[in-house]
Structures are given as structure tokens and as C-alpha cells.
Structure 1
């Protein structure tokens, strides 16, 4: 059982949402009458990633988070195919339907949570359930694939090379078993690793007791999605309002991943923060302020 030692979320899940054979642990806090905002985490995190952001949003918004399949207190499917982003996006819709039936929800995603969010708002009819989407440090894989296959230019080559270097670790993640010994060691030193990699104060890093298993289980995200979407991208028009928050010092996700967004998103807002990759921990006030302002812009229909 995942327990939270700080932050606004309860220690135990407030409800469990079932989709097929997968059970998703959901955590809620904040103003039950406020506009609903759903927070989606990435690798190798759980809903605990959002503690500092949620604490700042909870004063006037209804804040909802959950552990993705394969993480925390949610189910852990065994098959790689179960971790396709289409499946995880469908999980998000299931949570929305369960916790806010008949409402349009605002979504904030980080890392793979942002990748999932992009898939969510690309689906037909997304605007009927999603009021807005804020993306932090996670690419639309189809946009990135289309960018890599675009007309050759020096600027495009530089951008592709920059992201290729940043994403080099994902090559090892594609090979079953290869990164596991390293991850087992890292799981015991994760706050210290983030201090080295991201410049974080390790005292701010809260890890779930499932971290070691979460790291290894969710390597399937990389194996199920990256090669498929980069080789055969299918970018789609997005009518949900999207806010892209770029962390200018992000060593894992470079700004070039958003180069195609203007072509496909009909209502796009961009901003920058002086953060590295784990901005929900290092810069919660910046994320909360920008997210709340974006929610306010698109909550009039409530």
C-alpha cells in the first residue's frame, strides 16, 4: 500500500476505478465544488509526484490523481501490449467517467503522463470530456515522429540530434532485462540520483514503497510505444485547448519535441519555466499558477 507522508492526498485511495481487468487507485483532495483537474504522472513516479502541486491547487480546485497501471497501488499487467498509450489514455477516460460524470475535466500531465495526455486529447470526441490539457516534459510521439520525417534542414537536424542525445537512455530501456540491475540500485538512491541529474534537493523527493517494481514494470511503456509511433506517426488535429509548459533546462525532453504542435493544435499556449525535468517537485508554484490560470480560461461553461 502506498502511503503519503506529506501533501494533501489521503494516505489510502479514495476510490478504485476498474477498467477491464485493471484496477486504478484514485486519490482526491481540494474543493469538491471546484473545477476538476486530473493530474497524470510519468515514469517512474506515482500520484505522489503531484503532492506539492496539488497542495497549491487544492484551495479552490477539485484535484484528482491516480496511479497509472503498472505503478503504485494500481494493477500491474504483464504483457507489453497492455502499456500502449492508447490503453493508458483509455484508463484516464475511465477515471474521468467515474469521478466526474457529465463534467469536462482539465488534465495536467508530466513525462509519460504528458505523452498519455497528448493521446487522450487526440482521440475523436476528446473535447466532450476534456476542457483543457497542460503538457509538461512529455512529447506527443506522433508530432515528434512527423518532425523527424519532415523536410531536411540544418535547424531540423540540430533539433533531432539534440533530442536523440537526450533520449539515448531509452535505447537501453528497449532491451528486456538490460537496465534492470542498474534500476534496482537506483531505486535505493533515487533522491540522491535526482539531486545529481536534476539538481533537486533530495529532501523534497518523496518515493513510493513500490518504486523499485514501478521502475522495472513501466519500462514496458518505452517498449510498447516509442518505436511504433516514431516509425509510423499519425499526428491528428487537436481541438482541446493545450498549454505547453517548457522546462528550459530539461535534459530528457528538449523543446524541439513541440515543434509540430502549431500545425495540429487549434488553440495552443506556450510558456517557459527555468526548471529541469522534475518540475512538479522543483517548481510546483510555477506549474500550479499556470495550470490554475489555464483552468480559469476554460471553465466558464461550468
Structure 2
């Protein structure tokens, strides 16, 4: 992998998502397997650039600013940030990248959460070749695990549930009326705009977790020093995935920036392994 790509090689275009325009950038060999990278909160596509630039020597790499972030502004209300809309945006990008073949996907933080939504849609294997999940669990899988743990508690299960609750203790503040005013003081527009991801999906009227199964090959990059995501939240997806692997890295939440070589190597390894298994007629 070449860690020194030409920044001028990035090609920008606009893709119409689910009612919003999305800024999409692409680099790498147009004939290579395609990989779409989805960022989280409070980031833009730029958080992926250190990793993307390393992958561009081997793959056709696509990054985009998700709705309301970076180069994809929108005044859409909180309800427009519910996971089905975010998944529809991702599907629109995939259709633009390659309407005829499945595309590889990797997501970080809320980018992983929204990619999980797409990966678990019926027919996802027709559009998504593989998924690498980093620091963002499937919310329905976590919800199902939490309910099961509360109904049939064990010491290990309760400990895992309490541990994830502590790690997620910042969320009530982010969905509170105080958050926008406090975060504006920091002068971070994307941080304030991105609060709609939380308000659109957390603290909504209670509903039971949906059964969300997938046959897409999934790699969970478990960042052992990430204070936000505990192991139990990752294990919650195991009953719902036909093909799931977990790879531990001794890194923190911002591994995309601090250790892009390690992340790029893991993502490329997963993509390459799945590509090697694909029938020649699908290549």
C-alpha cells in the first residue's frame, strides 16, 4: 500500500441520496474492487483520508459526507436522520459507484451504525460485498441483547450491560436541549449539525428491537482502547450474522487518524479475502 498518494487524484461529484445531495469523492483505480467508507460523528469524510489514501493503491476508494455534515449540508429535521434514511443515502452512493456489482463498505462510529442498517436490509448481498464495522454496533442487535439480558440475567451478562451503559453515559446530554448551545461554544458546525443523528435515533418512542439478520460477510474491528464501545455490544451481533469475524486492535476510538496503517491493513485484508471467494462471473 502506498502511503503517499497525490491529493489531487481525488475526484469529486454529487450524488442524490434520499432527498439530500451528498458530496462524494473518489480515488484509486476505477477498475479495482470498490470500497465505500462512511464516517461518523462529529466527522466528515476527512476522518477517513489517512486510511483511504493508503487503500487507494489497491482499491477504488470512495468517501462521502453524510447528510448534514461537511460538504453535504441540509436543514432537514431530526426525523430525516433516522437510520432508514441514512441507509438509503448509502445505497444511493453504492448505486452510483457500481450499479451492476456489490460494493465493499466500511464504517466508523455513526458511519458503522448506519451501514449496519443497510447491511441488514433484505437483498443486501446484491449491493454490499462485505462490511467492516469500526466503533459502531447494530442498535437493534444491542437492543435485543439488552432485553434478553434483563429477562434472563447472569453475572456476566449484567456486567456487560452495565459496562456499556457507563460507556454510553454521554448520550443523554447529546439529545438534551443543552447540547447545541454548549457545542456551539466550541465553534464546531459539524458537531452541532450532527446532533440530529442522535436525536433522530436515540430517545424516540420506545419500540422493540427489529430482527435484523445479514448474510453479508462482516468484520468487526474491535478497538480495545475505545471507551465508547464495549466487547459485549459487538458480541450482540453474533446471532444475527451468517459470516462474522472479529479482529482486535490495541487502539483507541480515533484509530483512523492515529494508526491508519493498521486500520488500512485490516480493511484490505477483509476485502481481499471476500474478493478471493467471489465467483469469477461476479468479479
Fold shared per TM-score above 0.5: yes
Aligned to 2:222: 246
Q: Deviations over 1:231-260 (max 9, x none)?
A: 521132110000000000101111111122
Matches of 2:52 and 2:66 in 1, distance apart? 17
- CA positional deviation for 1:262: 1.6
Aligned to 2:55: 57
Matches of 2:215 and 2:27 in 1, distance apart? 29
Change over 3 Å in CA distance of 1:186–1:234 after alignment to 2? same
Matches of 1:11 and 1:21 in 2, distance apart? 29
State how many pairs are aligned.
272
Matches of 2:135 and 2:83 in 1, distance apart? 16
CA contact (8 A) 2:18 2:92 kept: no
Give the one of 184, 187, 194 matched to 1:218. Answer: 194
Aligned to 1:70: 68
Is 1:297 aligned to residue 276 of structure 2? no
Aligned to 1:113: 111
Matches of 2:5 and 2:47 in 1, distance apart? 10
Where structure 2 has 5 or more consecutive residues not aligned to the other structure, the ranges are none
Aligned to 1:181: 181
Give SS of 1:14's match: strand
Matches of 2:80 and 2:8 in 1, distance apart? 28
- CA positional deviation for 1:77: 3.3
Give the one of 206, 228, 237 matched to 1:261. Answer: 237
Give SS of 2:42's match: coil
- CA positional deviation for 1:229: 9.1
Q: Deviations over 1:158-210 (max 9, x none)?
A: 1111111111111011113x0123322334xxxxxxxxxxxxxxxxxxxxxxx
Aligned to 1:17: 15
Where structure 1 has 5 or more consecutive residues not aligned to the other structure, the ranges are 1-5, 188-211
Matches of 1:230 and 1:265 in 2, distance apart? 25
Q: How does 1:18-57 map to 2 (within 5 A)?
A: 18-57=16-55
CA contact (8 A) 2:10 2:26 kept: no
CA contact (8 A) 1:141 1:230 kept: no
Give SS of 1:179's match: helix
Change over 3 Å in CA distance of 1:258–1:228 after alignment to 2? farther
Matches of 1:116 and 1:18 in 2, distance apart? 17
Change over 3 Å in CA distance of 1:265–1:9 after alignment to 2? farther
Change over 3 Å in CA distance of 1:121–1:158 after alignment to 2? same
Q: TM (normalized to structure 2)?
A: 0.91
Q: TM (normalized to structure 1)?
A: 0.85
In the TM superposition, structure 1's runs of 4+ consecutive aligned residues that sit over 4 Å from their partners are 6-13, 228-231
Give SS of 2:225's match: coil
Q: Deviations over 1:26-46 (max 9, x none)?
A: 000111111000000000000
Give the one of 90, 93, 113 matched to 2:91. Answer: 93
Is 1:153 aligned to residue 154 of structure 2? yes
